[in-house]
């Protein structure tokens, strides 16, 4: 087994331990919530004491905390997320899609919804950011450079939800180009104009906000590279400027962008809460926050687990990639 | 010795500040950031004396609502106008006095004012000078609020046009339209319940005879009165034979009566039935009214008794009888069959305790449905529900209302099933407790609901769905605050027919300043009222720089006071997390070993936590409070700083001066405080500026997602209120939407810019960029 294999195994063990610790913290936090989920449901006046007892049993609250903890951990690691307390829908279907036996309809997996929107936004933000960052760094000191920096800084510090509200007000409410809520497409499916229309506004807002970060990152990275001697050499050789820019400088400045991209991709699912809430986009974030508000713990647990898992794997992959892409790290 | 060292430190500090300042000055963006920060600090400190600011609790006064003060009347302040304001409406179809309409006010001390409507101008609402009267027949001391006195309200009656009716002791008193000529009928007992609160026109014989009856009830007694004897003449217009209540029949029930009895005419077999809700059951009695024909051909018919009474059925609610509510929370309505409405929907609704509702077919008296009203599937936020009352109309729009854990609600009841109509647009959550629901306004086809805050909502029949989801409420045609609050909870709506035939519906309110406001609402073409949120401008002398929000809070004032919250949260959270991070980082780097391992693993875990998701979870656990938010931001914020500081500490540890200190016998504490800490201080300061920007954005996001401190005035909360409560958008009121976001961006940006400029000083490598 080579050194890389040992490294991968070590990191995998570390990942699993971290996952267990985080899941334990989440369990403890949700146990510490001021209200228990069955208390909310039991306020329904028509329930008999037997039904209430059955409800507590069904939710597992007749067992001790330790038993529940063990069941919870087993369920999480076997991807058996159970059913929603509130609607009775299968959480697995909600997250990954499937034919739902409660509403008798096909449910589009919230995870895929989120990955489509945020994956697209992240990829576009990094693609555009790569070129924009490279160009403005190349033309350092010009009005284009300072203009881009100021615009990027403003968008970087702008609250996403506010930008979303403004977009909704202008393009959905006043102009009526897009739907007010980005969830009506669910009855038409992914391959419909309704879905494209629902995507455009959240995508633009996400792009504007994250483009600021990627552009600045690429610009900084480019400036580092541009100080290197091989760029001077390339220029001195009389290579065309475009060739120096894209072949020699930008490609070498890509490294921090790639690792940050992998982590960003992993964090997309986590970052969705606000944007999805503003646009009512049916993704994991919206699922999480609505479930949290109504103490629908199976959904809360499942979404938190999926989000954490993705973040951890993303970090892991980013570390590996860093080693693969940068020979200087590989030696260590 | 000590003073020398102090002087030395002071000198070196001054020197450091001077050189750093001259470096800082070179960054233009940094200077801009510093200027913006200074601006925010100034407005935060001097908030109360900033121009155009009001107190943060300031609400725009009601006078600001009205563009033309023709609609306001100052009423005598010495009176205590606790009774309803009524807009009296004429019945044009019945001939005489048809054009008399106006506003009636009456007070608990027996004063009354009647402002007749000026019909000379059909487009503007004008009122003549009031006709003032004392309520006659020695009723002053007993009016309305006293024990054993029940105001029944103002009736729209074919005989009286409108009249004030109340029960006092053992008397039923009716005053005519000019509050004169009382008709007094002696009652057999203290009446507590009436067959129909709003309208006496309950037909108990077939349509051609048009006889109406009411049932009054005490604890165990039910009495049937004929309201008036009418005959239909050849022209179709009824005329009155004998006005007032005419006793017909009295019977007793065993159990205590709990709510208004309901009297209906059974079209199938010509009987009249009376539904009596009692403590343990709902009982239906079938009676046959006995007619006394006098005058044969003229078809004048009297009812002079009952030929038989039988208990048709009895619906026991449960063995304990607990599902029936107390007298105040039971409300009986009926939903008559209208044109195009199926007979099956013609249902009498009886509302019981625990949100339990019974429906009884109005044409034959059998049970239509019995079920529990629940809103949870409609809105998962609703965990507790208390249905207070319901209103029905001759159309199919039966509305229930009550309170929930998220606010009061109104919902549309399906008369064929008794459930809240099965889609999410058939209910509305309103802010504040409901204290009055109007009669159904047939002109505007809507209800008017007033809340204890002083808002009046117009709720349209359709509960329209096509309105804006995120920013605008569903089903509300319009809503407005009686800014400053309404003194009387009551609002009366009536339809006024001006000469030209156009219909106007008016809301009358007495405000806390003892001013009568009359405002045209739906169905009218009269533009009378500016609905908050206000746009920028001057309203009856008050200036709002960026307008107001929907409650009448001045946006500029809230922006200024919001700066305090933002700076407080941002600075405290940044200081706590940065100091904690620095301290932990130094310890970790300096001591190494297992301390280092434990700390770094913790840091790893915190850094992999998905930020906003965990923040929401913590906020839900800890509860919405500004200090909890600071705590949450700090708990999640220290880790990144600790990692950097640890790395710096590690490199410092191996520098020669550290060896020198160690050889000189310096203790660990001394090495940390004197040698390491001053060297990481610039970095600490740098992270603090970035931390402030991050904390401010986090606070705003938490507030926007509904987990902010509801008692704080913050920019995030302003946007949260906008998302939740903006019922209509006023294009002029852009301030509410735009300004909080601009301020959040500016303050976050300014700290970020200062941080960047500072970064260039700390890391000279960056400066050349």
pLDDT 10s digits, A16-41: 998 999 999 999 988 888 777 777 77
**pLDDT (0 to 100) of residue B282:** 81
**Mean pLDDT within B675-681:** 83
Task: Report whether pLDDT(B483) > 60.
Answer: no
Q: How many CB pairs under 8 A join A and B?
A: 154
Find the CB nearest A29 among B468, B621, B756: B621
Interface of A with B in 88-127 (CB under 8 A): none
Interchain proximity B605–A22, CB inside 8 Å: yes
Chain A residue with Cα closest to B718? A162
* pLDDT at residue number B743: 94
Q: Which residue of B has its CA nearest to A303?
A: B613
- Residues of chain A with C-beta less than 8 angstroms from the C-beta of B756: 153
Residue A274 in contact with partner chain B when CB distance is under 8 A: yes
How far apart CA A84 and CA A296 sit, in angstroms, is 6
Would you say residue B160 has pLDDT above 50?
no
**Nearest by CB: B470 against A158, A168, A311:** A168
Q: For residue range B139-156, list pLDDT tens digits in order.
A: 332 233 333 445 555 544
Give A 52-91 residues with CB within 8 A of chain B. 86
Please tell me the distance in Å from B250's CA to the nearest CA on chain A.
37
Nearest chain A CA: its distance from B37 CA (Å):
14
Q: Collect all residues of chain A within an 8 Å Cβ-Cβ radius of residue B471.
A: 165, 168-169, 173
Q: Give me the residues paired with residue B385 across strands.
A: B404
- Least CA distance to B32: which residue of chain A? A150
Q: What is the pLDDT of residues B213-257, one digit of tens each?
A: 778 888 888 888 776 544 444 344 444 444 556 777 888 888 888
Range with lowest mean pLDDT among A310-314, B395-399, B658-662 = B395-399
Of A157, A273, A278, the CB nearest to B616: A273
- Chain B, nearest residue to A24 by Cα: B605
> Is B705 in Cβ contact with A154 (below 8 Å)?
no
Give residue A268's pLDDT: 74
Closest Cβ opposite residue B471 in set A169, A267, A292: A169
Query: Are A290 and B380 inside 8 Å of each other by CB?
Result: yes
Whether residues B701 and A46 touch (CB distance < 8 A) is answered with no
Give contacts of A86 with chain B, Cβ < 8 Å: 376, 380
Residues B86-107, mean pLDDT to the nearest whole number: 49
- CA dihedral (B179, B182, B187, B190) in degrees, to 10, reads 30
Q: Quick check: B468 and A220 CB within 8 A?
A: no
Cβ atoms of B185 and B228 closer than 8 Å = no
**Which residues of chain A have a CB within 8 Å of the CB of B468?**
172-173, 180
- Distant-in-sequence contacts of A316-320, Cβ < 8 A, 24+ apart: A316/A11, A316/A12, A316/A15, A317/A262, A317/A266, A318/A259, A318/A260, A318/A262, A318/A263, A318/A266, A319/A11, A320/A8, A320/A11
Which residues in chain B are contacts of A161 at CB distance < 8 A?
Answer: 700-701, 704-705, 719
Tell me which chain A residue has its CA closest to the CA of residue B700: A159
Contact A156 B381 (CB under 8 A): no
CB B45: neighbour CB atoms within 10 A?
Answer: 13
pLDDT score, position B389: 75
pLDDT the model gives residue B88: 54
Band the pLDDT of B296: cuts 50, 70, 90.
Answer: very low
pLDDT at A303 over 50: yes
Query: Which of the two residues, B720 and B306, has the higher pLDDT score?
Result: B720
Condensed to tens digits (0 to 9), the pLDDT of residues B52-80 reads 888 887 777 655 665 443 455 556 555 55
Helix (H, G, I), strand (E, B) or coil at B745: helix
Cα→Cα distances B317→A65, B278, B279, B593, B659, Å: 40, 10, 9, 73, 88
Distance of CA B46 to the CA centre of its chain: 33
Q: Is A40 on the interface with B (CB under 8 A)?
A: yes
Tell me which of A154 and B229 has the higher pLDDT: A154
pLDDT tens digits along A3-17: 778 888 888 898 899
3-state secondary structure of B516: strand
Are residues B719 and A165, on separate chains, in Cβ contact within 8 Å? yes
Q: What is the pLDDT of residue B745?
A: 94
Contact B745 A159 (CB under 8 A): yes
- The phi and psi torsions of B327 (rounded to 5 degrees) equal -60, -30
Q: Sort strands B455-460 and B476-481 into parallel, antiparallel or unpaired.
A: antiparallel
pLDDT at residue B334 above 80? no
Q: Is the pLDDT of residue B340 over 80?
A: no
Range picked from B368-372, B374-378, B615-619 for highest mean pLDDT: B615-619
Give the mean model confidence (pLDDT) for residues B311-331.
52
Per-residue pLDDT at B70:
41
- Which residues on B lie below 8 Å from A274 (Cβ)? 612, 701, 704-705
Q: What is the mean pLDDT of residues A257-272?
A: 77
SS (H, E, C) B654-721: CCHHHHHHHHCCCCHHHHHHHHHHHHHHHHHHHHHHHHHHHHHHHHHHHHHHHHCCCCCCCHHHHHHH
- Whether A153 sits inside 8 A of B381 (CB atoms) is no
Contacts of B719 in chain A (CB under 8 A): 159, 161-162, 165
Interchain contact, B705 vs A158, CB within 8 Å: no
Q: Which residue has the tokens 């391959």?
A: A191
Which chain A residues are Cβ-neighbours of B704 within 8 angstroms? Answer: 159, 161-162, 274
The runs of H, that is alpha helices, within chain A are: 3-31, 37-41, 49-59, 65-77, 91-96, 110-138, 143-156, 160-167, 193-226, 229-236, 241-243, 251-252, 254-279, 284-293, 297-325, 327-330
The whole-angstrom separation of Cα B227 and Cα B163 is 14
Looking at every residue in chain B, the average pLDDT score rounds to 70
pLDDT value, residue A95: 85
Indicate yes or no: CB of A168 within 8 angstroms of CB of B705: no
Task: Give the pLDDT band (50/70/90) at residue B581.
Answer: very high
Residues A52 and A61: their CA atoms lie apart, in Å, by 11
Confidence band for B674, pLDDT divided at 50, 70 and 90: confident
Torsions phi, psi for A228 (to 5 deg): -70, 155
What pLDDT, in 10s, does the model give residues B452-462?
Answer: 766 777 777 66
Helix (H, G, I), strand (E, B), or coil: what is residue B294? strand
Q: For B263-272, how does the pLDDT look when each residue is reduced to its tens digit (9 = 90+)?
A: 776 666 667 7
pLDDT higher than threshold 90 for residue A60: no
Residues of B in Cβ contact (< 8 Å) with A292: 616-617, 620
Torsion angle defined by CA atoms of residues A262, A264, A266 and A269, in that order, rounded to the nearest 10 degrees? -150
How far does the CA of residue A218 sit from the closest CA of chain B (Å)? Answer: 13
Beta carbons within 8 Å of B204's beta carbon, 6+ residues apart? B211, B212, B213, B263, B264, B265, B272, B289
Distance CA B177, CA B311 (A): 40
Which of B194-208, B325-339, B390-404, B607-621 has the weakest average pLDDT?
B325-339
All residues of chain A having their beta carbon less than 8 Å from the beta carbon of residue B740 are 162
Q: What's residue B175's pLDDT?
A: 63
- Integer angstrom CA distances of residue B7 from B2, B10, B118, B674, B689: 9, 5, 86, 16, 28
What number of other Cβ atoms are within 10 A of residue A191's Cβ? 7
Query: Within an 8 Å CB–CB cutoff, is residue A45 touching chain B?
Result: yes
Does A59 have pLDDT greater than 60? yes
Q: What is the pLDDT of residue B729?
A: 55
The complex's ipTM works out to 0.90
Query: What's the CA gap between B713 and B558, in Å, rounded?
Result: 7
**Which is more confident, A7 or B483?**
A7
Cβ partners under 8 Å of residue B653, min gap 6: B589, B590, B676
Do B613 and A273 make contact, defined as CB atoms within 8 angstroms? yes
Percent residues over pLDDT 70 in chain B: 57
Percent of chain B predicted with pLDDT > 90: 9
Q: Does A9 touch chain B (CB under 8 A)?
A: no
**Section A204-230 average pLDDT:** 86
pLDDT digit string, tens, across residues B115-130: 665 555 544 555 556 5
User: DSSP letters of A7-34?
Assistant: HHHHHHHHHHHHHHHHHHHHHHHHHTSS
Kindly tell me if the per-residue pLDDT of B346 is higher than 70: no
What pLDDT shows up at residue B54?
85
Is the CB of A29 inside 8 Å of chain B's CB atoms? Answer: yes
Give residue B573's pLDDT.
94
Inter-chain CB proximity A162 and B741 less than 8 Å: yes
The answer to whether residue A294 neighbours chain B at the CB level (below 8 Å) is yes
Cβ–Cβ under 8 Å, residues B419 and B402: no
Highest mean pLDDT (candidates A292-296, B81-85, B108-112) = A292-296
* The pLDDT of residue B765: 67
Nearby residues of A24 by Cβ (< 8 Å), 6 or more positions away: A69
Q: Is the Cβ of A50 closer than 8 Å to some Cβ of chain B?
A: no
- Confirm or reject contact between A16 and chain B (CB < 8 A): no
């Amino acid at each position: 087994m080579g050194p890389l294999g040992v490294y991968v195994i070590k990191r995998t063990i570390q990942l699993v331990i971290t996952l267990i610790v985080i899941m334990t913290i989440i369990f403890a936090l949700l146990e510490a919530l001021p209200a228990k989920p069955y208390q909310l449901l039991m306020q329904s006046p028509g329930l008999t004491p037997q039904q209430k007892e059955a409800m507590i049993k069904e939710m597992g609250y007749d067992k001790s905390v330790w038993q529940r903890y063990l069941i919870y951990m087993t369920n999480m690691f076997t991807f058996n997320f159970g059913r929603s307390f509130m609607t009775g829908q299968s959480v697995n279907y909600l997250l990954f899609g499937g034919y739902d036996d409660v509403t008798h309809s096909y449910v589009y997996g919230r995870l895929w919804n989120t990955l489509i929107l945020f994956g697209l936004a992240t990829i576009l933000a990094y693609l555009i950011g790569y070129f924009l960052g490279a160009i403005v760094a190349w033309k350092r000191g010009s009005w284009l450079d300072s203009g881009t920096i100021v615009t990027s800084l403003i968008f970087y510090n702008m609250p996403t939800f506010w930008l979303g509200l403004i977009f909704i007000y202008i393009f959905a409410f006043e102009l009526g180009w897009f739907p007010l809520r980005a969830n009506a497409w669910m009855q038409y499916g992914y391959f419909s104009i309704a879905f494209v229309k629902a995507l455009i506004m959240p995508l633009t807002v996400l792009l504007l906000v994250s483009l600021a970060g990627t552009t600045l990152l690429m610009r900084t990275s480019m400036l580092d590279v541009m100080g290197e001697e091989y760029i001077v050499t390339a220029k001195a050789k009389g290579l065309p400027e475009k060739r120096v820019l894209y072949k020699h400088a930008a490609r070498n400045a890509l490294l921090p962008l790639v690792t940050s991209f992998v982590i960003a991709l992993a964090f997309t699912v986590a970052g969705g809460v606000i944007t999805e809430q503003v646009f009512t986009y049916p993704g994991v974030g919206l699922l999480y926050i609505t479930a949290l508000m109504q103490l629908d713990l199976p959904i809360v647990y499942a979404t938190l687990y999926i989000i954490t898992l993705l973040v951890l794997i993303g970090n892991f992959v980013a570390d590996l990639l860093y080693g693969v892409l940068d020979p200087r790290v590989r030696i260590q | 010795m000590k003073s020398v060292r102090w002087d030395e430190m002071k000198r070196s500090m001054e020197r450091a500040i001077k050189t750093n300042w001259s470096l800082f000055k070179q960054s233009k963006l940094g200077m801009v950031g510093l200027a913006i920060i200074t601006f925010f600090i100034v407005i935060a400190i001097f908030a109360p004396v900033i121009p155009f600011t009001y107190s943060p609790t300031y609400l725009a006064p009601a006078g600001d609502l009205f563009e033309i003060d023709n609609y306001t009347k100052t009423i005598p302040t010495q009176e205590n106008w606790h009774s309803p304001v009524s807009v009296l409406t004429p019945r044009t179809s019945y001939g005489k006095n048809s054009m008399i309409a106006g506003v009636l006010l009456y007070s608990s001390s027996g004063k009354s004012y009647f402002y007749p409507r000026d019909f000379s101008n059909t487009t503007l609402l004008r009122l003549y000078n009031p006709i003032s009267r004392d309520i006659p027949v020695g009723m002053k001391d007993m009016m309305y609020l006293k024990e054993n006195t029940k105001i029944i309200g103002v009736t729209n009656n074919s005989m009286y046009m409108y009249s004030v009716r109340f029960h006092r002791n053992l008397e039923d008193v009716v005053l005519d339209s000019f509050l004169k000529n009382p008709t007094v009928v002696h009652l057999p007992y203290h009446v507590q319940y009436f067959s129909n609160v709003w309208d006496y026109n309950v037909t108990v014989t077939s349509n051609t005879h048009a006889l109406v009856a009411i049932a009054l009830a005490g604890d165990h007694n039910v009495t049937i009165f004929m309201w008036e004897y009418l005959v239909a003449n050849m022209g179709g217009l009824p005329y009155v034979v004998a006005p007032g209540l005419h006793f017909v029949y009295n019977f007793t029930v065993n159990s205590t009566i709990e709510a208004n009895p309901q009297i209906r005419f059974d079209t199938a077999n010509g009987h009249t039935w009376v539904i009596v809700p009692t403590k343990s059951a709902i009982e239906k009695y079938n009676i046959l009214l006995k007619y006394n024909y006098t005058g044969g051909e003229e078809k004048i018919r009297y009812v002079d008794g009952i030929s038989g009474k039988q208990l048709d059925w009895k619906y026991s609610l449960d063995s304990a009888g607990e599902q029936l509510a107390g007298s105040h929370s039971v409300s009986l309505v009926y939903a008559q069959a209208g044109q195009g409405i199926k007979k099956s929907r013609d249902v009498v609704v009886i509302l019981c305790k625990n949100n339990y509702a019974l429906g009884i077919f109005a044409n034959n008296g059998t049970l239509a449905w019995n079920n529990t009203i629940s809103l949870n599937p409609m809105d998962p936020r609703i965990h507790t529900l208390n249905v207070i009352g319901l209103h029905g109309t001759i159309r199919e729009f039966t509305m229930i209302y009550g309170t929930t854990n998220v606010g009061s609600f109104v919902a549309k009841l399906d008369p064929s099933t008794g459930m809240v109509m099965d889609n999410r647009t058939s209910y509305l959550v309103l802010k504040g407790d409901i204290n009055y629901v109007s009669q159904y306004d047939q002109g505007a086809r809507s209800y008017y609901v007033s809340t204890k805050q002083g808002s009046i909502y117009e709720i349209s029949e359709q509960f329209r769905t096509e309105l804006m989801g995120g920013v605008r409420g569903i089903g509300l045609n319009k809503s407005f605050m009686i800014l400053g609050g309404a003194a009387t909870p009551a609002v009366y709506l009536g339809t006024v027919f001006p000469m030209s035939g156009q219909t106007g519906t008016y809301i009358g309110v007495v405000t806390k300043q003892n001013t009568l406001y009359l405002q045209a609402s739906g169905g009218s073409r009269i533009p009378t009222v500016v609905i908050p949120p206000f746009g920028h401008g001057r309203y009856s002398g008050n200036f709002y720089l960026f307008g107001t929000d929907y409650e009448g809070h001045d946006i500029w004032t809230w922006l200024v006071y919001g700066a305090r919250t933002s700076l407080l949260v941002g600075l405290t959270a940044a200081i706590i997390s940065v100091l904690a991070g620095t301290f932990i980082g130094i310890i970790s780097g300096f001591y190494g070993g297992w301390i280092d391992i434990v700390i770094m693993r913790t840091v790893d875990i915190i850094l992999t936590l998905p930020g906003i998701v965990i923040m929401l979870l913590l906020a839900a656990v800890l509860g919405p409070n500004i200090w909890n938010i600071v705590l949450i931001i700090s708990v999640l914020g220290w880790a990144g700083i600790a990692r950097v500081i640890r790395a710096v500490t590690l490199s410092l540890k191996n520098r020669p001066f550290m060896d020198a200190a160690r050889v000189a016998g310096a203790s660990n504490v001394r090495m940390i405080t004197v040698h390491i800490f001053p060297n990481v201080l610039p970095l600490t300061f740098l992270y603090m500026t970035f931390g402030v920007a991050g904390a401010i954005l986090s606070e705003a996001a938490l507030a926007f997602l509904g987990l902010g401190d509801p008692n704080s005035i913050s920019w995030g909360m302003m946007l949260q209120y906008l998302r939740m409560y903006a019922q209509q958008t006023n294009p002029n009121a852009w301030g509410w939407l735009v300004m909080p976001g601009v301020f959040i961006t500016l303050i976050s940006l300014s700290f970020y810019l200062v941080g960047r400029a500072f970064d260039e000083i700390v890391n000279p490598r960056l400066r050349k960029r």
